[in-house]
A and B are shown apart, each in its own frame.
Chain A
């Protein structure tokens, strides 16, 4: 067994274990840690596929940013991040589990024998120079669009997640007080002609 096959087997095992752990963990923080193991294992898989730059990006972006973001949100939400049981009927859950599992296993078994001969890799395949060159020639326009997408996502995330500022709370409180006063005046004024 060659070293790359060994690396594949180890990484595949940890990727599967991490995925199962993510999906089945009761506490979201444990799910996040299982996701981290999954992501590191996938970076190892990318190494067996000669995608060194992508493995580094995977570690930086996923392990360094996305999992940390998940952990921050879980800590922000606190103990309520753990939901108790499921309101949905067990039957529906079992059906979706069984059907999805059957489809997955069928496709996985059907596909496992596709074995084209592994071609000889050209020089510079998968390293920083090769992927970077392709990124700035072939993929220049998508690259620029991605930067705008990320900017829009940042602004959107701030706009959605932001609570009310102190000034907005003051204005709201004043409006509420004014509405109450007006309602009271209205009550006071309305019975007066009747008397």
Chain B
């Protein structure tokens, strides 16, 4: 068996799907944030894998690098919002976060 691009792409698809399912099904905001991380990581795998099969430049790896940086920023603000939400509601259940519901 020789590894091709297809194996990486389908692995990344499945990882993205697991992340999306976690985001849709779970109600715990911490686990939803982790699911977002799973999805971002799956996209990174696609970028790096495609770059490996078109290695004229490093565009895919650069993009993955920027995705990692943006993910770090996203987690920092996201977790700050989780803490603020917990202070307000004493819960991390997203069903409780209905303050903007009219």
Contact = CB atoms under 8 A, between A and B. Distances in A.
Interface of A: 1, 4-5, 8, 12, 15-16, 19-20, 22-23, 25, 28, 31-32, 35, 38-39, 42, 45-46, 48-51, 53-54, 57-58, 61-62, 65-66, 69-70, 73-74, 76-77, 80-83, 86-88, 93, 96-97, 100-101, 103-105, 107-109, 111-116, 118-119, 121-122, 125-126, 130-131, 134-135, 138-139, 142, 146, 149-150, 152-154, 156-161, 163
A73 B82 contact: yes
Interface of B: 1-11, 13-22, 24-28, 30-31, 33-35, 37-38, 41, 44-45, 48-49, 51-59, 61-62, 64-66, 68-77, 79-84, 86-87, 90-93, 95
Given A25-B31, A87-B93, A160-B77, A115 B13 contact: no
Contacts of A39: 41
A104 B31 contact: no
Contacts, number: 253
B86 to A, nearest CB: 5
